[in-house]
Amino acid sequence: MVQIKDLLPAEAASAGAPFNGPHMDNSADWTSGYVVEVDYTHGYYRELSPVLIDFTLLVAGFEPPARGSGRYLELGMGQGLSANIHAAAVEGECVGVDFNPSHAANAMQLAQASGSGARFFDDSFAQFAGRDMGEFDYITLHGVWSWVSEENRDVLVDIIRHKVKVGGAVYISYNSLPGWASAMPLRHLLTLHGKLGRAGADGIVSSIDHAIEFGRKVAEVGARYYAATPGAKDRLDAIADQNRRYLAHEYFNLDWLPMYFSEINQRLSSAKLHFTASANLLDHVPGINTTAEQSALLAGVAHPVLRETVRDYILNQQFRKDLFTRGARRLADLDRQERLNDALVALTTPAADIAFDITAGLGALTLKQDIYGPLIESLSARDYAPKRLGDLAEDPSLKRIGGASLLEAVTVLVGAGHAHPAQPGAAVEKATPACARLNEHLVRRARVSEDVGFLASPVIGGGLQVSRFEQLFLLSRLGGADKPEQWAQFAWDVLQRQNQVLIKDGKPLAAPQDNLDELTRQATALEQRRLPLLRALRVA
């Protein structure tokens, strides 16, 4: 693993991250106890893409929203990377709300760069509920529900009730039970230490460090909680390695409440929503999630809410990503089949880099070479151009697989992040200029920051992971350089000007030539392995 090391003194190195001057005062009254001392990470979540939501609903056998004007609302959009990528890459009108003005300002800057017209508000949910914004085809909230107060959850339901169109879809993720049950006391201990034992801590990051250290001390003296809770100590160790900005928001909020699926379902039913599908496509393939015995038990549970709950018990699920619709309409089999035949899909991982090992409910699994080998080959044909599922089914090398198994294999590839549904050509053309502007902004930003690890693809209507170095190589390429050696030199100049060096295998690379060699190796890999795909997806 190669990272960046700052050679500046610690104080100078922290400029720009992770503490933000204006938010040092955690007592500001707009926060409702929500962590604002550190800004949230610049994450991208592809399940929020209307293109992926539509595909998932189709796979589950439900009618996706009639796009119409394609209005999209993200509640608590954080830094707004997902919202901005979707605003640039998918036709329609995008609105986002997040009461942290730093988050809203960042989101606005991205919207200005892409020219997508996306609008962002630094309103609280309660303020936003009072705005007359019309109705939306898609409302998404990722990483929000479990981390706000009961009062705010009521406001969220109210917003959804009044602002989702009939036939519209809602994506919601949340910490779920019973998966979280055993670790709840650990979270309690850490946050209580953050509140009552933070003497000597300088800011929230240091307070988190102290709390983790304290949690370890409690384990070391033989606390029976750890002995009685298999996995609790491992979780604490895993937490110790996680991004502090993520931890601040995940664990150290005043409000934090995992819920059972049935509770979420009940709350959203009051907004006339109907649970339609898990937003995680891998969940739609029973053979990789539950044993034959478990599947038979689930098949015998008639009530969908009880069935979904039993599934959570079987998998001990900690985090759910669900799709609800206002007015669920089941598609007739033939209708579903015809629409899936017309769906386009594209690889998002270079064919040679697709790992055949995936993790699903049943644990680690290996994909069957005789199905996935030819499928990946067909998907990479014609320079990775998106393929119609109906045409794939007719492909001589895939015909023997059969339609249902082929759809299942495509679902697995998309679910595992190696493929993505693609947009029709006209939509791709429309979205290309805004994506190009957003991507240019992001690759320029990569000169001074490694915050954003994604770029927008108009082809898939979503984002693609692109590392900081790859972004710097693409920036050099935008400037006209066409050789990996030139891209590497450019990236090295950028790093050198900021007194940064690469870290390889845990050690800083001291000699300039070692840095340059490593960057050249990576630039060559980009050119040989990834660039054809990035070109096909119009990211490069």
Ligand X SMILES: C[S@@+](CC[C@H](N)C(=O)[O-])C[C@H]1O[C@@H](n2cnc3c(N)ncnc32)[C@H](O)[C@@H]1O
- 102 sits near ligand X (criterion: CB under 6 A): no
**CA 272, 277, 278 angle in degrees (round to 5)?**
120
In 3D space, the residue among 97, 162, 104 whose CA is nearest the CA of residue 124 turns out to be 97
Question: Cis peptide before 386, with omega less than 30 degrees from 0?
Answer: no
Among 56, 100, 276, 423, binds ligand X (CB under 6 A): 100
Q: Sheet containing 2-6: which strands, arranged edge to edge? A: 2-6, 500-504, 507-508
- 174 sits near ligand X (criterion: CB under 6 A): no
Candidate segments 70-78, 86-94, 193-201, 220-228, binder of ligand X by CB under 6 A: 70-78
- 143 sits near ligand X (criterion: CB under 6 A): yes
Residues 107-136 that bind ligand X (CB under 6 A): 124-125
**CA 438, 142, 198 angle in degrees (round to 5)?**
105
| Amino acid letter for position 136 | F
- 350 sits near ligand X (criterion: CB under 6 A): no
Hey, is 94 helix, strand or coil?
strand
Among 138, 147, 251, 473, binds ligand X (CB under 6 A): 147
Describe the crossing of helices 484-497 and 512-525 by its angle, rounded to 10 degrees.
Answer: 130
Q: How far apart are the first and last CA of the chain?
A: 24
Evaluate whether 137 touches 71 at the Cβ level (below 8 Å): yes
Among 40, 55, 384, 454, binds ligand X (CB under 6 A): 40
Evaluate whether 52 touches 277 at the Cβ level (below 8 Å): no
Q: List own/partner pairs for 522-525 with CB under 8 A and 24 or more apart.
A: 522/2, 522/469, 522/470, 522/473, 522/488, 523/469, 523/473, 523/484, 523/485, 523/487, 523/488, 523/491, 524/484
| Strand ranges inside 367-423, DSSP E | 387-388, 419-422
250: alpha, beta or left, given left = phi > 0 and alpha = psi -120 to 50? alpha
Among 55, 62, 72, 99, binds ligand X (CB under 6 A): 99
* Beta carbon nearer to ligand X, 152 or 476: 152
Rounded least distance, CB 44 to ligand X, Å: 8
Binding mask 14-33 for ligand X (x = CB under 6 A): ------------------x-
Rounded least distance, CB 75 to ligand X, Å: 7
Among 98, 322, 451, 518, binds ligand X (CB under 6 A): 98
* Beta carbon nearer to ligand X, 452 or 474: 452
- 43 sits near ligand X (criterion: CB under 6 A): yes
Neighbours of 150 (CB within 10 A): 8
Helices (H) and strands (E) in the chain, counts: 23, 17
* Beta carbon nearer to ligand X, 452 or 495: 452
Among 52, 53, 77, 419, binds ligand X (CB under 6 A): 77
Among 193, 233, 249, 530, binds ligand X (CB under 6 A): 249
- 326 sits near ligand X (criterion: CB under 6 A): no
Among 142, 210, 387, 530, binds ligand X (CB under 6 A): 142
Candidate segments 40-48, 267-275, 350-358, 359-367, binder of ligand X by CB under 6 A: 40-48
* Beta carbon nearer to ligand X, 32 or 405: 32
Number of residues that bind ligand X (CB under 6 A): 22
* Beta carbon nearer to ligand X, 142 or 284: 142
Evaluate whether 286 touches 296 at the Cβ level (below 8 Å): no
Candidate segments 5-13, 92-100, 272-280, 323-331, binder of ligand X by CB under 6 A: 92-100
- 72 sits near ligand X (criterion: CB under 6 A): no
Q: Which single residue brings its beta carbon nearest to ligand X?
A: 78
Candidate segments 52-60, 91-99, 212-220, 409-417, binder of ligand X by CB under 6 A: 91-99
Rounded CA separation 236/190 (Å): 10
Rounded CA separation 222/220 (Å): 5
Only one residue has tokens 């998998």, namely 315
* Beta carbon nearer to ligand X, 126 or 371: 126
* Beta carbon nearer to ligand X, 43 or 203: 43
- 46 sits near ligand X (criterion: CB under 6 A): no
Among 49, 84, 106, 152, binds ligand X (CB under 6 A): 152
Evaluate whether 102 touches 81 at the Cβ level (below 8 Å): no
- 76 sits near ligand X (criterion: CB under 6 A): yes
Candidate segments 96-104, 223-231, 304-312, 444-452, binder of ligand X by CB under 6 A: 96-104
Candidate segments 52-60, 73-81, 186-194, 503-511, binder of ligand X by CB under 6 A: 73-81
Rounded CA separation 492/457 (Å): 27
Burial of residue 483, with CB atoms counted within 10 A of its CB: 0-12 exposed, 13-18 middle, 19 or more buried: middle
Residue 253 phi, psi (nearest 5): -75, 155
Rounded least distance, CB 72 to ligand X, Å: 14
Neighbours of 107 (CB within 10 A): 29
Rounded least distance, CB 111 to ligand X, Å: 16
Among 50, 64, 65, 78, binds ligand X (CB under 6 A): 78
Only one residue has tokens 């490069």, namely 540
Rounded least distance, CB 254 to ligand X, Å: 10
- 144 sits near ligand X (criterion: CB under 6 A): yes
* Beta carbon nearer to ligand X, 97 or 392: 97
Q: Which residues bind to ligand X, rule: CB under 6 A? A: 32, 34, 40, 43, 45, 76-78, 97-100, 103, 124-125, 142-144, 147-148, 152, 249
